[in-house]
Amino acid sequence: MTHPQKSSAAALPPGPKPLGIGLRSAEQAKKSLPAWLLSLLLHLSLIAGLIFFLTQIPNGAGEVDNRTGGIVLVDIQSESTEYLSEGDIAQNSNPASVPDSSTPSVDLEKRPELPGMEVTTGEVVGTEDLLANKLPSADSLIVGSVANGKIGGKMTTEVFGIPGTGSRFVYLIDRSKSMEGYNFRPMLAARQELWKSVTSLNESNQFQIIFYNNEVDIFRRKLNLHAASEVNKDAAKQYIESIRPDGGTDHLAALKTAFKLSPDVIFFLTDAEGGFTADEIFELSRRNYSRAIINTIEFGERRSNDRSLEAIARNSGGKYIFKNINTLRVE
């Protein structure tokens, strides 16, 4: 009598399972994991690998000693190029270590000269060697009576012993009727002193002559200054000799006219008392825009109590003098 066979599974003895069975179990477990978890693990692995790779790349050109900024010299060799700073050159004092430059050096002692320029060697002292002093002056560019001299050179001239220092002079002379009294002595003395002062001026100076009574009479009929050239001096002499006393006296209008010329010095001569009020003296000080020094000369037999001419001179920094008509010297 035959018995039915038992299944092979039931016939296996207890213990570890065969290898094939273990692999099938792992594959079944793997398939049982969700798909999103597998994707996450794969991306994390890639990111970790990329970070590791980047950290192994050196920054920039590698570890190089820092150098200071400034002028850099290049030492070009056949195999390499080295950049030398000022500190490197100071440390390496051997001349053989610095290669010769292909650019020729400039010999300062033999530099080319500019037209009209002198080569200066050594230390420059003062301003005599500056370029500006090698250029022609403005005076040399002027054509006319002052072409050979400098403009504006200061000097000192006198009228009746009162000195005035400057470059621009105005002579303001009273020509009223009273100036012909005493045998014409006041006018002759005024002409004499005026002419002596004008002839003493240099060609670099400028002047104007104003004779006045009720009105003003200006040399060459133009309200401007003239260079003290020989030509202008000769013309001034003829003008001075042509003046004849006449009319009354208007000091204020004459002084206002003189201020318009912006002089350095005004020689103001009259034989009449000043008669200026305090307000007029103040107005004259205000109109003296060039801050001209006013020297006042008063003619008379005796000095009055009027001190306005002296006040005008004092306010401007000038001087006042009284001349007795009876003792005036006329040559």
Q: What is the mean pLDDT of each run of 10 residues along the chain (331 residues)?
A: 46 49 51 70 82 67 52 52 51 47 47 44 37 41 39 89 97 96 94 97 97 97 96 97 95 96 98 91 95 97 93 97 92 81
Q: What is the pLDDT of residue 273?
A: 82
* Gap between the Cα atoms of 222 and 117, Å rounded: 43
Q: What SS3 class is residue 162?
A: strand
* Gap between the Cα atoms of 212 and 100, Å rounded: 84
Q: What is the pLDDT of residue 255?
A: 97
Q: What is the pLDDT of residue 257?
A: 97
Residue 90 lies in a domain: no
Q: What is the pLDDT of residue 50?
A: 79
Residue 15 lies in a domain: no
CB 208 within 8 A of CB 224: yes
CB 323 within 8 A of CB 299: yes
Alpha-carbon separation of residue 310 from 55, 84, 188, 314, 316 (angstroms): 99, 80, 24, 6, 10
CATH code, domain carrying 182: 3.40.50.410
CB 125 within 8 A of CB 226: no
Q: What is the pLDDT of residue 310?
A: 96
Residue 165 lies in a domain: yes
Residue 297 lies in a domain: yes
The domain in which residue 246 lies consists of 155-327
Total number of domains constituting the chain: 1
Q: What is the pLDDT of residue 125?
A: 34
- Please calculate the CA angle 215-216-221 and round it to the nearest 5 degrees: 135
| Amino acid code (one letter) for 100 | D
Q: What is the pLDDT of residue 35?
A: 74
Q: What is the pLDDT of residue 136?
A: 44
CB 169 within 8 A of CB 267: yes
Q: What is the pLDDT of residue 100?
A: 52
Alpha-carbon separation of residue 123 from 126, 128, 133, 251, 318 (angstroms): 10, 12, 17, 59, 46
Residue 176 lies in a domain: yes
CB 48 within 8 A of CB 40: no
Model-level pTM? 0.56
Q: What is the pLDDT of residue 325?
A: 92
Residues 6+ away with beta carbon under 8 Å from 145:
203, 227, 229, 231, 232
CA 54 to chain centre: 62
Residue 122 lies in a domain: no
* Gap between the Cα atoms of 173 and 215, Å rounded: 12
* Gap between the Cα atoms of 325 and 185, Å rounded: 7
Alpha-carbon separation of residue 119 from 107, 113, 132, 134 (angstroms): 13, 6, 15, 12
Residue 108 lies in a domain: no
Q: Give per-residue burial for 163-197: e unless 16+ CB within 10 Å, then b.
A: ebebbbbbbbbbbbebbbebeebbbbbbbbbbbeb
The H helix count followed by the E strand count for the chain is 10, 11
Residue 223 lies in a domain: yes
